[in-house]
Structure 1
Amino acid sequence: MLLKKILVFVFTCFVTIGFSQKSPKKEIKKATYISKAVYVKDISPLKGKDLIKGKPRKGNINPRRTDGNKIVPGKGSKGPDPLVKRQKSSQGLRVSKAISLTFEANTSTFSPSDPTGAVGPNHYVSAKNFEFAIHDRAGVEVMASVSLENLFPGESLGDPIVFYDSFADRFVVTQFSNTPNGFLVAVCKGSDPVNDGWFTYRFNTGSFPDYTKFSIWSDGYYVTANKDQNSLQNDEVVFVIERDKMLKGDENAKMVGFPLPGARIGGFYSPASFNAIGNTLPPDGDARIIYYQDDAWQGVTEDALKLWTINVDWVNLAESTIAESEELTVSGGDISAFDTTFDGGSFGNLPQPGSGQDIDVLQGAVMYATNYRRFCDYNAVVLNFAVDIDDRQDSDNVSGIRWYELRQNGDGQPWTVYQEGTYTSTDGKSAWCGSMAMDIFGNIGMGYSTIGTTANLATEDSFVSIRYTGRLVDDPLGTMTFPEETIAIGTGINNTNQNRYGDYAQLTVDPVDDQTFWHIAEYFQDIDDNARNVVGVFKIAPDVASDVGVIRVENPVDAVLTTEETITVTIKNFGSSVQTDIPVSYSINGGAPVNELFAGPLNPGKTASFSFAATADLTAERTYNITAETNTTTDITPENDCATTDVKNLFANDVGVTALISPLTEGQFSSEEEIIITIFNYGGSAQSNIPVSYSINGGETISEVFTGTLASLESVSYTFTQGADLLQFGEYSFEIGTVLSGDEDATNNNITTTVVNALCAPTSDCAQFGDGITSFKLANVTNSPIGCNTGYEDFTGDFTIELEQSIEYTLTVQSGFADDNGAERFSVWIDFNDNNTFEASEIIFDNVIISEIDTDLGFNFTLDDEAAPGNHLFRIRAGDTNTNSGAPLSDPCGSMQFGSTHDYTVNIVNESTGPDPDTTTELIVVSEPENQFVITKTDTNAADEERIYVFNISGQIVASNLLKKDGNGTFTYELDMSYAKSGIYFVRLGSSKRNIAGFAVR
């Protein structure tokens, strides 16, 4: 290998890794995370309360930019977007559809404001970072914008999502949290968000779940998050929470988490889960997650849309799976090539007028929401993301919106591309930050943002503005045919937070007519507090006289079915004329239809219940598929005439277990661990005196009896009186079960699950008041500043503290909260005997007072010459002893309300084998064959993370990524320049101009 140190200038280093790999075989993985709601809080109705006002959040809005996808310079699709020409030829094919209503939902002192909102039958609920508001359907405030703390006591971190679950007639509001890391979900108790009260849930996720997006599916609320970058193939980044229980306020609502197997993503990402809208839920399971892959990214060979299938088993969550399913590619002829890379992966992209900083195009995100709708002959989903449509090879200042409609010919069938398009705004403006949905007829509406380019910065269209367009179901495929219409025109640049924008917008469909679109997005006015969230209401569907359909099969429901079951459906008139004598039919499991007549009348926009006179015998099978539809000969859109449902014919006597609630799947357990299970009555009859049991690792079976009464299709938690000894670290295989006398289905009686006893990692609140260690310095290790996540941090792989026997050292610590009365204290342990238990004899500092806030305080200690040499676990723990009942006095694992716990590795050496000296090197570029480069910089005093940039000789960024320092203080970046043009390039690490390195590509 030839070492070349080329042009070491004064600048800081910047690095990017590149390599290629073949697509792996499709993987199936089981759930990697199983838990339940930490709590559910009963929030009383908002009306009449003295509500908490919103307080703008300080510091970073959110860490969305922690890293961009790894870009290989010169690689990927370039040149004109292949779909732009078709769009331009069809733009304005339809007559303009004027907006029907606009109103401002709220204002903001900074961007991104994260606008989100959804329309219900009587209200529009919107939210932004730290606040939410409620309007009536005329846009009039019912409740002025107030703090999210009114729904989530004590928490208003933000990044909210609002959605309306039309299948349950409930609003849902969410936000993320870092005290500890997780997300919060507030479910309205009824249809009225002002008067009905809320159930508020917390779910913990381990690491921080940035950029959470929520979707509705039949078997749960699905959540995607920009979490665990660079390890999302193994760490859970998709979650499903138990929708049915949350709607009831059940404290036992469970959550299951999944990785994305086979994902080829190297930085920020925002995949999407399909979000069901309309009148009919999909069947349980077969839920899809979708994300795009750009061939400019490292490890991606061609542009593609990649889908995963999730099947949740709420009975035995450990058997829930995620699997790679469809991959729709350019080479397969499924999709056209696209370019989603702007400015080498960095986040300042679209020029603002005048001196404004380039604004974020939101690359790496499938825009919210990916809306799914069922029709009689197919299922459909629409999605979009930003693409570079600048014709110039050396510029990417103009954005368009690549959008898709995927279709599925039937439940359980593969998804394919029905149509694709690239939408471009008029007059050369950029279009981005789109949100789209289908109405009941299959027409598509899309709201989006626009901004002028360098060619038209003098026009009124220069500033960020909000627009909409759409297409009718029978328009030419791949085109938005309605001319661009305006919701709001901006008059100023983003002067609140540099280049941040969005981070998203949201378009929802009105549940009243299932035709009108409500879109919320962010724009700016030429004033100080200039970020504005505006709502625009529009409809593109033409008025039709005759269009009716069955929207739901209401009865029968899961039960012990009989030989004479009544079939009841709900019919809706989507048209503009009164309908009478409507032919209606139903069929069972695809059999011969039963035809009858609903006399009516049914007025426009109204629904009616209809029960068939002909009953059905539903006793022979365990499951029945019932399809009902209207058959009006003058119906304009037969695709929306039908609804279907699956109904279970229950056994009378059928009880089983669904989950091991305690102990958790991983923790540090005791010799008297409490065993709690969930029992579920699958049958149609109430049951009492239910025998239950558990055994561990095939040992003795512990049998007891639940003496209460359990109603049909209800669950209950049972705590065994006899606990278990789980003190030893390792895996424990539990078999839990029921043995109901006369049980008619033994398949659900028992489940097996494994729990792991591992080192305790206690979480706590380190953010609200700054409790815990914020800076740590000892010997060769400096860890500062230390951010707050869950309150527990594992630094064992990042830092090794080198200590010698019989040498005095000074431990320097700092806390964000302290007082002279000793409220904040810390303790330190070293696990000298390596048994993963911190014993009293291993305490180095015991309950030492931290007397000053944000001040480095030094504490001396010496290890005696009997201290065991080698690597050991080092734990430091600090907290508010006034609220923590003495912790961390002598308890290394106890729960703390306020504080933090950190683990390090310590290497104890004797005098003859002292620690390695610190080293600092210059920025070094090593050239390898085929234009591969390895860039390194060692600096133990540098920050833990630095951003690396690769520039061409003109100063254009061709790649950008975030680097983390390893345990030796070294930054390393592997850069693939095999696709780049020949020439001179430069790298820079960080923002300082002290080090820069140049290199040649030949």
Structure 2
Amino acid sequence: MSKICQTLLAVAVAIAATGSAQAAEKVNPGQTYINSEGIQVSVGADWVSPPSQPDKFFLDARTRPIVPAWKPGDPIREVPRLFNGDPKVRQMQAHPVNPVPQGDILSELQRAFGAGTDSRAFTTPLVNRDGQGFSGVFPPDPSGDVGGGFYVQSINGSGGATYVVYNTIDGTIAAGPFTLEGLGSGGACASGNGDPVILFDQLASRWLLTEFSSSGNNLCVYLSADSNPVTTTWTRYAFVPPSFPDYPKYGVWPDAYYVGANQSNATYALDRTAMLAGLPATFQRKGVPTLSELGFQMLPPASFNGIDAPPAGAPGTFLRQVDDELNNPGSNDPLHDRIELFTFHVDFATPANTTLTGPIPIQINDFDRAFDVPSGFGAIPQPGTTRLLDPLLEVIMFPVHYRAFGSNETITGNFVTKVGANNQSAIRWFELRRTGGLASAWTLFQEGTYTPAGDPAPTNRWMGASAMDSSGNIALGYSIDRAVAPTQFASLSYVGRQAGDTPGVMTTAETSLVLGGSAQTSFDRWGDYFQMGVDPADGCTFWFTGEYMGASNWATRIASFRFDACGSPTFSVSGTPLAQEVCAPSATPVALSAVNINVGSISGFNSPVNFGFGSGLPTGFAGSYTVSPVIPPGSTAANLTVNNTATPGLNVITLRGSSGGTDRDLLLNATIATQAAGSPTLTTPANNATDVSSTPTFSWSASAQGNSYLIEIATDPGFSNIILSQSVSGTSFQPAAALPTNTQIYWRVSANNVCGTAGPSATFSFTTQAAPGDCSPGSFTNVVFSDNVESGTNGWTHSAATGTDSWAISTARAVSPTHSWFANDPAALSDQRLVSPTVALPGSLNGLNFQFQQFVDIENNGATACYDGGLLEISVDGGAFTQIPNAQLLVGPYTGAVSGSFGSPIAGLQAWCGAAVPFSRVVVDLSTYAGHNAQFRFRIGSDSSVGKEGWYIDDVKVQGCSSSDVIFADGFDPPPP
């Protein structure tokens, strides 16, 4: 080794970690205190959700309709990146008080190492194929994981996330592409909105598939019953945080599914134990102190991989990186930055005992995230265009992998850093270790910045995804491009290192998976995240997915590769089906479906594996295995029977394989019924209740052996017009969307189990509250003007006082059913107006109002202010247009004032703005204009930077109330019945 390499290596490995052990502390709910190690502890959950009711159903994915491929002319949209605070703060970065030496010492260490070594196995992919193609959505957010002989990839599609299931043996498609929302059964998750995350829960051998819903704050979580995602029973949960959970990233842990979100640094814990049992599940929130100068903040949780579980009682762990030159420029350390850990110890039984401990600092070498971001989020240059790509500079990249090796535990991750002029980027990767269990501290074991020797400068590497295999080898996949000769469009490559190699460097040759073929010129959003996982079948094969530029649009890639030197001999088990419902009405045993169990061999393991039933079988069950012991690789089947002496409800049976002192367990969830479910008794809303909320909580008594309940809600006593039908597991239900206001509602509930149902309950009815714009009971709604934009312009006109007029009828988004008015929000000064025809406003109607539906994706300035905005104006009897004030907005008030700092033509006015706010109703009080003629003008104004999708307007109408049913003709669309 050269002298320079020896010197750089000594510096890199001599970094002292400052993390500390967590001593046992007295828990005092509601308290925040400093523990004996000098670390802050916050006690008690900040927020606890009501139970989310599970919905279960069996699905053979091969029977689902295939999502058609995108074609020219189909919609194009950008998924908004939620930025809290002033997005222009990046252009005004403070200078650190202590200057930082030039260069990245770890980058120099990597260059000094020299060329990497070709490894035939690792640098020759086993699978290297295109994944899902261009969907018209920017960015695609590719996510994927591996398990049970399958790889599942998901991306953002035009109507929410889509997914495809691949066979791991050769990468061929087993099923798909399908919409992720198709795993639901109505309700809040009936319409998805993307940001998918796919994880294989190796502890339970089950799949976790997630995305947003298209409205509300829902996290839609789909949990498989076993390891086969093609044919399985899915359980869906809709979790509703208190505000929109942007950029959610999930992690598997024994006590919870942990989630980080760009939502004021929110961290969440979902009750994994309840979810695996298919029971109603709550989740808890803990907030983390924010960092200054960052408008996008999310802490990813460490996610379990491997065979050895974490120490008993180990809390969930969240991580972030801190660049003190940016986050604390007044007192920065010019040589060091840090990784901060937060540990989340959740108590689902007593939320007051939940604790969040941190930040726990771990010192690392200085890195630089002060990229020059002239507008929007773009920083990474591309060949042949001025369009820059988003490096996602703010967060540690998803996923963060945890793996245990006996008493030694590891956490691996990566993030982007700036290493040179012209925003040259590289990837900082790290490995943390803890030895000795929970009483010990996490420390930095090694870190590196990957910039190989002989690299044509400036080459950019960013959007990394990393993982560690069962032998401690690390792989890192990423985007790579070069804007100057020799140019390279955004491509995908990977690199790796073996355990025991020189610390702080990647030691293999860089391997190209696919070369880019064009530049992205329309948007600066890129990837948002890639994903790397390791197949639990062998603990060695890495699977990676990411985004690259194809011939004209982005595309995705899927690849697998492994090191020859991987794996300690052991065995794995997987089985299907692991969730069953059985009717056992008599003493005669009834057979469950055979559980087929595959016993895998890892690194040549061939010792006999004996099978049993853990601590024994529950009352009423009997069982045996077709083969025991099994010599891996091999298989067996568990055959079980049950009779009516079993305990009705959920029975958890442990299917255990044992060899050489090692146990591997599969949990079979058997739900038993011995008779048909009885009829429930309805409780609330009470029968004949009035003035009931439009989103009431329905409740009923539990039925004998009721496993699930079907609630039906209708507007007639004969239930010929059912407006909502939902299957739930508990005895309460709250609809995600509002019921019709000022309407008599009828409802009933049927209890079900595998033996059948005794029929529906008695029918209850109630009347919902009147909402602004509704007519009181006994009066009639009279529509004066109505236009749902389905039959042309109908007398509407449009123009631009400043900039370009983009108002047009669109099919990209609509309410009823396919068309709406649309204007974009450009990154340039503009003042665009859409004017209605003249409407005569009768003086004889009470409660005269103007209503419309709007979808808003307009540049905001935090939660209560705007940079660009849309507003509503009125002209009375041919006079000048004036703004409708907030006081007249009965529903849907303006977001806030438009900034005067950047030249907006509507500066200082109140307006609507925000990041992809779904269609919602606006109701305007027109009583002061009754008896006059009026025109309405929708006006959208923008400043000179940061463009967004824009503003959609649909279902415009004027109506009022009278004692008689009089229809006002206007020559436009007829009023709704």
Coarse TM-score class (shorter-chain normalised): 0.5 to 0.7
Say yes or no: does 1:247 pair with 2:276.
yes
Say yes or no: does 1:142 pair with 2:96.
no
Take 1:46 and 1:80, find their aligned partners in 2: how far apart are those partners?
52
More divergent stretch after superposition (438-447 vs 849-858)? 849-858
Structure-2 residue corresponding to 1:894: none
Q: What SS does structure 2 have at the residue aligned with 1:266?
A: coil
Do the aligned residues in 1 keep the contact of 2:609 with 2:659 (CA within 8 Å)?
Answer: no
Take 1:294 and 1:517, find their aligned partners in 2: how far apart are those partners?
30
Take 1:494 and 1:73, find their aligned partners in 2: how far apart are those partners?
31
- How far apart are 1:266 and its partner, in Å? 3.1
Q: What SS does structure 2 have at the residue aligned with 1:84?
A: helix
- How far apart are 1:289 and its partner, in Å? 0.9
Do the aligned residues in 2 keep the contact of 1:162 with 1:172 (CA within 8 Å)?
Answer: yes
Q: Which consecutive residues of structure 1, in runs of 5 or more, have no partner in the other structure?
A: 1-22, 329-333, 553-568, 587-599, 611-626, 633-640, 646-660, 680-685, 689-714, 720-759, 763-768, 772-784, 792-813, 826-842, 862-871, 879-900, 906-917, 925-935, 948-987, 994-1002
Structure-2 residue corresponding to 1:940: 908
- How far apart are 1:607 and its partner, in Å? 9.0
Matches within 5 A, 1:297-336: 297-299=326-328, 301-302=331-332, 303-328=337-362, 334-336=363-365
Residues 578-633 of structure 1 deviation map (CA, whole Å, 9 limit, x = unaligned): 45799xxx9xxxxxxxxxxxxx99766669999xxxxxxxxxxxxxxxx999889x
Query: Is the alpha carbon distance of 1:607 and 1:384 closer, same or farther for their aligned partners in structure 2, counting shifts above 3 Å?
Result: farther
- How far apart are 1:315 and its partner, in Å? 0.8
- How far apart are 1:49 and its partner, in Å? 3.2
Structure-2 residue corresponding to 1:349: 379
2:300 to 241, 255, 272: 272
Do the aligned residues in 2 keep the contact of 1:182 with 1:206 (CA within 8 Å)?
Answer: no
Letter aligned with residue 284 of structure 2: V
Take 1:296 and 1:662, find their aligned partners in 2: how far apart are those partners?
57
Structure-1 residue corresponding to 2:6: none
Do the aligned residues in 2 keep the contact of 1:31 with 1:320 (CA within 8 Å)?
Answer: no
Higher relative contact order (CA 8 A, sep 6+): 1
Letter aligned with residue 150 of structure 2: H
- How far apart are 1:327 and its partner, in Å? 1.1
Structure-2 residue corresponding to 1:296: 325
Do the aligned residues in 1 keep the contact of 2:472 with 2:498 (CA within 8 Å)?
Answer: yes
Matches within 5 A, 1:150-229: 150-152=182-184, 154-227=190-263
Do the aligned residues in 1 keep the contact of 2:258 with 2:301 (CA within 8 Å)?
Answer: yes
Structure-1 residue corresponding to 2:497: 471
Query: Is the alpha carbon distance of 1:473 and 1:41 closer, same or farther for their aligned partners in structure 2, counting shifts above 3 Å?
Result: same
Residues 827-859 of structure 1 deviation map (CA, whole Å, 9 limit, x = unaligned): xxxxxxxxxxxxxxxx99466666999995749
Matches within 5 A, 1:393-412: 395-411=422-438
Matches within 5 A, 1:678-827: none
Letter aligned with residue 351 of structure 2: L
Say yes or no: does 1:40 pair with 2:55.
yes
1:83 to 106, 110, 128: 106
Matches within 5 A, 1:277-676: 277-282=305-310, 283-284=312-313, 286-299=315-328, 301-302=331-332, 303-328=337-362, 334-344=363-373, 347-355=377-385, 357-390=387-420, 392=421, 395-411=422-438, 413-425=440-452, 427-428=455-456, 429-454=459-484, 457-459=485-487, 462-495=488-521, 497-525=522-550, 527-528=551-552, 530-542=553-565, 547-548=569-570, 573-576=601-604, 578-579=606-607
Query: Is the alpha carbon distance of 1:662 and 1:521 closer, same or farther for their aligned partners in structure 2, counting shifts above 3 Å?
Result: farther
Residues 750-790 of structure 1 deviation map (CA, whole Å, 9 limit, x = unaligned): xxxxxxxxxx999xxxxxx999xxxxxxxxxxxxx9xx99x
- How far apart are 1:352 and its partner, in Å? 1.1
Do the aligned residues in 1 keep the contact of 2:195 with 2:247 (CA within 8 Å)?
Answer: yes
Query: Is the alpha carbon distance of 1:275 and 1:57 closer, same or farther for their aligned partners in structure 2, counting shifts above 3 Å?
Result: farther
Take 2:464 and 2:281, find their aligned partners in 1: how far apart are those partners?
33
Query: Is the alpha carbon distance of 1:631 and 1:172 closer, same or farther for their aligned partners in structure 2, counting shifts above 3 Å?
Result: closer
- How far apart are 1:290 and its partner, in Å? 0.7
Q: Which consecutive residues of structure 2, in runs of 5 or more, have no partner in the other structure?
A: 1-37, 575-596, 615-627, 639-655, 667-682, 686-690, 707-728, 734-770, 774-787, 791-806, 816-832, 856-869, 878-884, 916-941, 948-977
Take 1:674 and 1:946, find their aligned partners in 2: how far apart are those partners?
30
Q: What SS does structure 2 have at the residue aligned with 1:272?
A: coil
Take 1:920 and 1:361, find their aligned partners in 2: how far apart are those partners?
27
Take 2:360 and 2:571, find their aligned partners in 1: how far apart are those partners?
32
Do the aligned residues in 1 keep the contact of 2:400 with 2:412 (CA within 8 Å)?
Answer: yes
- How far apart are 1:317 and its partner, in Å? 2.6
Take 2:555 and 2:493, find their aligned partners in 1: how far apart are those partners?
14
Structure-2 residue corresponding to 1:725: none
Query: Is the alpha carbon distance of 1:482 and 1:608 closer, same or farther for their aligned partners in structure 2, counting shifts above 3 Å?
Result: farther
Identity across the alignment (%): 23
1:31 to 40, 46, 62: 46
- How far apart are 1:241 and its partner, in Å? 1.6
- How far apart are 1:279 and its partner, in Å? 2.2
Structure-2 residue corresponding to 1:892: none
Take 1:418 and 1:90, find their aligned partners in 2: how far apart are those partners?
19
Q: Number of residue pairs matched?
A: 654
Query: Is the alpha carbon distance of 1:482 and 1:182 closer, same or farther for their aligned partners in structure 2, counting shifts above 3 Å?
Result: same
Do the aligned residues in 2 keep the contact of 1:264 with 1:293 (CA within 8 Å)?
Answer: no
- How far apart are 1:938 and its partner, in Å? 11
Structure-2 residue corresponding to 1:996: none
Q: What SS does structure 1 have at the residue aligned with 2:274?
A: helix
Take 2:183 and 2:258, find their aligned partners in 1: how far apart are those partners?
21
- How far apart are 1:297 and its partner, in Å? 2.3
Letter aligned with residue 127 of structure 1: S
Take 2:345 and 2:460, find their aligned partners in 1: how far apart are those partners?
39
Take 1:643 and 1:307, find their aligned partners in 2: how far apart are those partners?
31
Q: What SS does structure 2 have at the residue aligned with 1:477?
A: coil
Take 2:62 and 2:462, find their aligned partners in 1: how far apart are those partners?
38
- How far apart are 1:68 and its partner, in Å? 7.5
- How far apart are 1:221 and its partner, in Å? 1.3
Structure-2 residue corresponding to 1:991: 945
Letter aligned with residue 562 of structure 2: K
Do the aligned residues in 2 keep the contact of 1:382 with 1:437 (CA within 8 Å)?
Answer: yes
Take 1:761 and 1:188, find their aligned partners in 2: how far apart are those partners?
43
Letter aligned with residue 178 of structure 2: V
- How far apart are 1:296 and its partner, in Å? 2.7
Do the aligned residues in 2 keep the contact of 1:77 with 1:339 (CA within 8 Å)?
Answer: no
Query: Is the alpha carbon distance of 1:606 and 1:920 closer, same or farther for their aligned partners in structure 2, counting shifts above 3 Å?
Result: closer
Do the aligned residues in 1 keep the contact of 2:433 with 2:443 (CA within 8 Å)?
Answer: yes
- How far apart are 1:903 and its partner, in Å? 8.2
- How far apart are 1:60 and its partner, in Å? 2.7
Q: What SS does structure 2 have at the residue aligned with 1:411?
A: helix
Do the aligned residues in 2 keep the contact of 1:326 with 1:414 (CA within 8 Å)?
Answer: no
Take 1:410 and 1:91, find their aligned partners in 2: how far apart are those partners?
37
- How far apart are 1:43 and its partner, in Å? 6.2
Query: Is the alpha carbon distance of 1:44 and 1:299 closer, same or farther for their aligned partners in structure 2, counting shifts above 3 Å?
Result: same
Take 1:845 and 1:412, find their aligned partners in 2: how far apart are those partners?
68
Residues 311-361 of structure 1 deviation map (CA, whole Å, 9 limit, x = unaligned): 111112344232214111xxxxx3111112211585222221122522221
Do the aligned residues in 1 keep the contact of 2:208 with 2:221 (CA within 8 Å)?
Answer: yes
Q: What SS does structure 1 have at the residue aligned with 2:324?
A: coil
Query: Is the alpha carbon distance of 1:291 and 1:922 closer, same or farther for their aligned partners in structure 2, counting shifts above 3 Å?
Result: closer
Structure-1 residue corresponding to 2:143: 116
Q: TM-score, normalised by structure 2?
A: 0.57
More divergent stretch after superposition (278-287 vs 35-44)? 35-44
Do the aligned residues in 2 keep the contact of 1:289 with 1:308 (CA within 8 Å)?
Answer: yes
Q: What SS does structure 2 have at the residue aligned with 1:297?
A: helix
Q: TM-score, normalised by structure 1?
A: 0.55
Take 2:564 and 2:898, find their aligned partners in 1: how far apart are those partners?
68
